[in-house]
């Protein structure tokens, strides 16, 4: 088997220095702003928001050419895909709707997901050549991220939807300063003293606290993340997630709609139940379609007093709570455990240690993974809102219910998603590779019918079957039609992290990576998504095209081309199971070349295995 060139191949892309606007009124401290003429209110989640329904036709129109290009390169003989898409466009309905979901799993998930997005992005060098999948990202309507996946999604969008390649290949300019993971988040950015770094963290969080807002260790964690993902000079304290709604690429629907996922932890709850309320953050709103809430708040003004669903006429509009790093930190609050290791770093000022200990004392050590948000749903619709009587909304890491791939918002029936490319960078096995646990968790929640608003999730096997049948080492389609049924939800293209060109099974809690390691893991993610640019299976780009068209072919009653039938026979799970306990999962490198593996011996990684055990114990309790 032929090995492939390094990602990204070819020439270096030019850095793109476009950025979102730092619009928060007082840095990290939420503050009063003028209320808009139409005063913000809480929206009942009886359907999609007006913002989303107005934006969707623009996005659909903008995906047409990318879809046609991806499908033309798929070479699906027996179907003129260009004419097929043109016919759907002329009718005005039925275009395939694509979504991409990036799992949690710390920096491993960020980098693995970055490789997949680079493979899907037609801006990446050579990504539209034979065997590649460039344009799939431009064909997508939704892009969801959770925990480490949220770091990737949030970081790209705060830079006005820049490309992975523009960051990873940049040698000068602002983008070259991002994703410098060799500067551990515990030690701070290069060129800044530890004391100065932690003084900035302290001052930002202290300002928010002094303004009357509840703070937790997640505030410190989110601020620290921002130095790697938003702005290394000061962490971008004024950058908000809602500001994405004003970025040119998003306003013009030139980019998919970003969704970040977190989970609600109700008062007194320690272990996250499978039916917990799942929150989504999008550029316009935060909230949930789930039965425990069924409401959304305007994200920009979430710090305002919305008692009973609206801001009183004499009430103030407050902005700045939705700091971009705080949103990403909320989705990854489990990593607060890692941040507690700062006491081991030489030079950390005592005032910060004291402040963190005080924040833990305020919430209790058992709640150290929570992020406290002002509850905009206080007093709203108490008949279904489980937190109608509390002024603080406690949210935690989006993967704490084991649904580590953020599929939930993409199952909402009204979003009419046809196919989800589910990129799984989880560390489920003893050797830190995925085994389908997230897929099983989402299936179990679907089977419990927690939310009547969701499409049914397709059948999946148990985790042992994933390993025994190799479903965790190659892409697998779930939800294929067998000819006698019409599936109600999207086809799931499960894409697990596997050692194509690099053993990227680094610990979730490893906090430091050289640029070389970073790029090797990104390259491996690229090769995972493209199956080695088609060297593992030359028909893989064709099968991706068939997956995109699958639901549309059913809707239009179009005969399935022979090539697609072959693809579905090869990649669809056929219902076979083998639940016997597998041996320790130790996959060999898939592409030719010497086996490469990340060096995890550095003490700077702060004992990732130990931290993983601590967090696993915490979740189990």
On the 0-12 / 13-18 / 19+ scale of CB atoms within 10 A, 83 is: exposed
Query: Tokens representing 228?
Result: 């790697």
Per-residue confidence band for 5, with pLDDT thresholds at 50, 70 and 90: very low
CA distance 601 to 465: 32
CA distance 280 to 78: 41
Q: Is pLDDT of 14 > 50?
A: no
Question: 565-587 pLDDT, tens per residue?
Answer: 999 999 999 999 999 999 999 99
The interaxial angle of helices 217-229 and 194-210, nearest 10 deg, is 130
State the pLDDT at residue 345. Answer: 61
424 forms beta bridges with 496
Question: 330-375 pLDDT, tens per residue?
Answer: 999 877 666 666 656 666 677 767 776 676 566 555 556 789 999 9
% residues pLDDT > 70 (the chain): 86
Q: Is pLDDT of 560 > 50?
A: yes
Whether 472 contacts 400, CB under 8 Å: no
Question: 150-164 pLDDT, tens per residue?
Answer: 999 999 999 999 999
Question: 81-120 pLDDT, tens per residue?
Answer: 999 999 999 887 789 999 999 999 999 999 999 999 999 9
Q: Is pLDDT of 188 > 60?
A: yes
Q: Is pLDDT of 610 > 50?
A: no
CA atoms within 13 A on the CB side of 601: 2
State the pLDDT at residue 223. Answer: 96
Q: Which of 69-73, 566-570, 606-610 has the lowest mean pLDDT?
A: 606-610
- The CATH number, out of the four listed (3.40.1090.10, 3.40.50.180, 3.40.50.720, 3.40.50.300), of the domain defined by the range 59-85+93-164+180-620: 3.40.1090.10
Question: 29-57 pLDDT, tens per residue?
Answer: 999 999 999 999 999 999 999 999 999 99
Per-residue confidence band for 211, with pLDDT thresholds at 50, 70 and 90: very high
CA distance 405 to 365: 27
State the pLDDT at residue 608. Answer: 38
CA distance 59 to 255: 8
Q: Which of 494, 473, 507, 509 is nearest to 586 (CA)?
A: 473
Question: 450-487 pLDDT, tens per residue?
Answer: 888 899 999 999 999 999 999 999 999 999 987 656 77
Q: Is pLDDT of 600 > 70?
A: no
State the pLDDT at residue 400. Answer: 86
Q: Where are the alpha helices (DSSP H) in 402-539?
A: 437-447, 463-468, 515-530
State the pLDDT at residue 359. Answer: 63
State the pLDDT at residue 131. Answer: 85
Domain parsing of the chain, residue ranges? 59-85+93-164+180-620
Computed over every residue of the chain, the mean pLDDT equals: 88
State the pLDDT at residue 534. Answer: 92
Average of per-residue pLDDT across 121-149? 96
Q: Where are the alpha helices (DSSP H) in 75-193?
A: 81-91, 106-120, 136-139, 148-158, 164-168
Beta strands 98-102 and 140-146: pairing type?
parallel
State the pLDDT at residue 333. Answer: 83
């Amino acid at each position: 088997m032929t090995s492939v060139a390094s990602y990204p191949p070819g020439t270096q892309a030019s850095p793109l220095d476009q950025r979102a606007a730092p619009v928060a009124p007082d840095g990290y401290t939420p503050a009063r702003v003028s209320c808009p003429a139409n005063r913000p209110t809480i929206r009942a989640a009886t359907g999609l928001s007006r913002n989303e329904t107005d934006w969707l036709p623009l996005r659909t129109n903008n995906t047409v050419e990318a879809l046609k290009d991806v499908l033309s390169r798929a070479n699906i003989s027996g179907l003129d895909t260009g004419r097929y898409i043109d016919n759907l466009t002329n009718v005005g309905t039925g275009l395939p709707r694509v979504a991409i979901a990036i799992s949690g799993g710390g920096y491993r998930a960020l980098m693995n997901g970055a490789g997949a997005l680079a493979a899907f992005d037609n801006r990446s060098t050579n990504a539209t050549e034979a065997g590649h999948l460039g344009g799939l990202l431009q064909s997508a309507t939704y892009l969801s991220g959770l925990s480490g996946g949220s770091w990737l999604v949030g970081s790209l969008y705060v830079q006005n939807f820049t490309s992975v390649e523009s960051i990873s290949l940049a040698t000068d300019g602002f983008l070259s300063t991002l994703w410098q993971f060799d500067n551990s988040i515990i030690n701070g950015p290069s060129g800044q003293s530890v004391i100065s770094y932690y003084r900035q963290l302290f001052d930002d969080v202290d300002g928010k606290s002094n303004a009357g807002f509840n703070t937790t260790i997640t505030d410190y964690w989110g601020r620290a993340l921002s130095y790697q993902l938003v702005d290394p000079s000061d962490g971008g304290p004024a950058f908000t997630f809602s500001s994405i709604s004003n970025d040119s690429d998003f306003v013009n629907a030139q980019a998919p709609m970003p969704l970040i996922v977190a989970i609600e932890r109700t008062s007194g709850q320690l272990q996250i139940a499978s039916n917990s309320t799942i929150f989504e953050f999008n550029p316009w709103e935060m909230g949930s379609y789930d039965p425990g809430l069924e409401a959304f708040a305007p994200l920009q003004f979430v710090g305002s007093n919305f008692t009973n669903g609206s801001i009183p006429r004499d009430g103030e509009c407050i902005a700045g709570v939705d700091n971009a790093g705080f949103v990403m930190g909320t989705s990854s609050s489990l990593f607060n455990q890692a941040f507690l290791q700062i006491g081991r770093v030489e030079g950390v000022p005592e005032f910060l240690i004291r402040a963190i200990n005080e924040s833990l004392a305020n919430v209790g050590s058992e709640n150290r993974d929570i992020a406290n948000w002002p509850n905009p749903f206080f007093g709203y619709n108490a008949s279904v809102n489980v937190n109608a009587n509390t002024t603080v909304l406690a949210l935690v890491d989006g993967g704490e219910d084991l649904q580590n791939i953020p599929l939930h918002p993409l199952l909402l029936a009204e979003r009419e998603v046809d196919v989800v490319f589910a990129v799984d960078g989880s560390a489920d096995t003893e050797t830190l590779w995925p085994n389908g646990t997230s897929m099983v968790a989402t299936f179990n929640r679907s089977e419990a019918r927690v939310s009547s608003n969701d499409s049914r999730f397709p059948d999946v096997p148990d985790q042992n079957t994933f390993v025994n049948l190799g479903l965790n080492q190659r892409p697998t389609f779930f939800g294929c039609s067998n000819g006698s049924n019409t599936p109600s939800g999207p086809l799931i293209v499960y894409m697990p992290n596997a050692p194509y060109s690099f053993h990227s099974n680094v610990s979730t809690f490893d906090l430091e990576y050289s640029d070389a390691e970073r790029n090797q893991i990104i390259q491996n993610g690229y090769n995972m998504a493209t199956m080695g640019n088609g060297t593992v299976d030359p028909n893989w780009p064709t099968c991706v095209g068939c997956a995109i068209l699958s639901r549309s072919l059913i809707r239009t009653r179009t005969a399935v081309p022979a090539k697609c039938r072959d693809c579905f026979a090869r990649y669809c799970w056929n219902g076979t199971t083998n639940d016997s306990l597998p041996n320790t999962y130790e996959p060999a490198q898939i592409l030719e070349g010497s086996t490469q593996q990340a060096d995890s011996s550095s003490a700077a990684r702060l004992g990732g295995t130990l931290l993983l055990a601590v967090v696993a114990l915490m979740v189990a309790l």
